[in-house]
Amino acid sequence: MSAENLYWVWLSCRLGAANCDFVRLALKYDNPYEIYRADQTELSQVDGISEQTQNALLDKRLEEAAGIVGYCAGAGVGILPYSHPDYPYRLRMLKDPPVLLYVRGRLPRMDRLVCIAVVGTRRMSEYGRESAYRIAYELGAAGAVVVSGLALGIDGVAACGALSARGKTVAVLGSGIDIIYPREHKKLMQLISENGAVVTEYAPGTPPAGEHFPVRNRIISGMCQGTLVVEADIKSGAMITARTAHEQGRQVFAIPGNLGEENTGGTNQLIRDGAIVVIETEDILREYEYLYGKSIDTAKLAAARKKYRYSSEVFSQMGVSARLAPGRPAPKSNQPSAPAELFRKKKSKKSGDTGTENKTEKTGKQSPEKLTARDYFDSTKEAQKEEEPPSRTEDDRAIVASLDEKYRRLYESIPADRAVPLDALARLGYSIGEVMSAVTMLEVKGLISSLPGGLYIRR
């Protein structure tokens, strides 16, 4: 039994899921054993932690944690704590990161790859089902990691698509690692663990309670650079994931659907509010081609497209429950939906050939929320020159002076008068790991803020 894992599991059990106090504790203590040893007086001196958390940490019993560690060792379940080098950097950037992850399978090197969450309704149409399968298939073939929630509907179909392309996929549970939920996806869960990983922050034996899934969604979006909503109504749980992704400063993608249809109200609303429209897989991949170009294999994507075959039989072969919603029959042809075709035609034309006045030309401005990170970086240069950069207080200067040289150099590389995307910082010679680690530390110290679209700006 790993002594360190024992105390990590103890800490996870005491704090529970999505406890923001964990970050405050991690800043003060080097390891969970130090937290375990802390008494009430010491815990009360940790800035910002609640009385409820303090009381929970005074429970020093280890029997539950020891039982969990023993179960995981016997069942082949990995324990990936916050301190482990394989713990995803993007999760560390959250305000409420999981204390640890229970892992069945082998988690891909998430920080080196393009990771896309693919989510949507359980009550899918044939259009949604085929779109989810095709996009996930092509993402997997290109080398991206497809992340979903193992739920019925779009989630399961997306995992199936990635597996069909022999790609990597990760499923995030809202229950213990030993709980198969939904039961229909027992075989799919096994296949994912053999070709990727099934993960959860909930201890073994934790049932799939309804309140767990919105909490779980922050991990789905938090692991990824972007979240694709394939098909969803306005009240769908997938909309929670999209909102969480936006709050985390990650990109949101959506596939357009027919106007007036219940299952497309959510995706069309996301597009109206600035989500990136997805008609083909490249609409996602091109957002990351600079920073993660070496991990994207366009040759494999092209080869996979030639082999692509879509049949409902693949779902039964992989144990995927892919039932269509009642009253949602398959279309008579394989043509895309009307709005999808409309967007496709618009994309194929140049701006001046549409016969309509270009919105950007009319106003002279474009909403930053509707821009990619690269577009936003370029378009805000002139507008933000008119604003005075915020003055640094003496406290801020002291904080900057106290930074390690690497963090200070990266902070000084962020312009004082505009927001920049991560890829702009990577161009300065830093690795993606160094960039993510640095921006996390700078955010915690209050020197920078994250914006939607993966942008960062000095405070």
Which residues of the chain are under the pLDDT cut of 70?
1, 327-395, 422-424, 426-433, 452-454
Residue 78 burial by Cβ neighbours in a 10 Å radius (0-12, 13-18, 19+): buried
CB neighbours of residue 60 within 10 Å = 10
Question: For residue 365, what pLDDT is reported?
Answer: 40
pLDDT of residue 376: 33
Q: In a 10 Å sphere around its CB, with 0-12 CB exposed, 13-18 middle and 19+ buried, how is residue 76 labelled?
A: exposed
Distance CA 246, CA 250 (A): 5
Torsions phi, psi for 29 (to 5 deg): -110, 145
d(CA 13, CA 61) in angstroms, rounded, equals: 11
Give, to the nearest 10 degrees, the angle between helix 3-15 and helix 21-28.
140
The contacts of residue 13 (CB under 8 Å, 6+ apart) are: 64, 65, 68, 203
Kindly list the domain boundaries of the chain, sorted by start residue. Answer: 3-76, 110-341, 367-459
Q: Give every CB contact of residue 220 below 8 A, 6+ residues apart in sequence.
A: 117, 119, 147, 148, 149, 172, 227, 241
**Contact of 30 with 166, CB cutoff 8 Å:** no
Contacts of 262 (CB under 8 A, 6+ apart): 233
- Please tell me what DSSP assigns to residue 199: E
Q: What is the pLDDT of residue 233?
A: 93
- Residue 280: its pLDDT value, please? 97
pLDDT of residue 95: 93
Q: Residue 262: its pLDDT value, please?
A: 78
Rounded CA-CA distance 369/33 in Å is: 43
What pLDDT was estimated at residue 239?
A: 95
CA distance linking residue 55 with residue 15, whole number of Å: 10
Query: Could you read off the pLDDT of 111-161 as tens digits, one per residue?
Result: 999 999 999 999 999 999 999 999 999 999 999 999 999 999 999 999 999
What pLDDT is recorded for position 358? 43
Pick the CATH number of 110-341 from 3.40.50.450, 1.20.140.10, 3.40.50.1220, 2.170.190.11: 3.40.50.450
CATH label, 367-459, candidates 3.40.630.30, 1.10.260.40, 1.10.10.10, 1.20.1290.10: 1.10.10.10
So what's the pLDDT on residue 174?
97
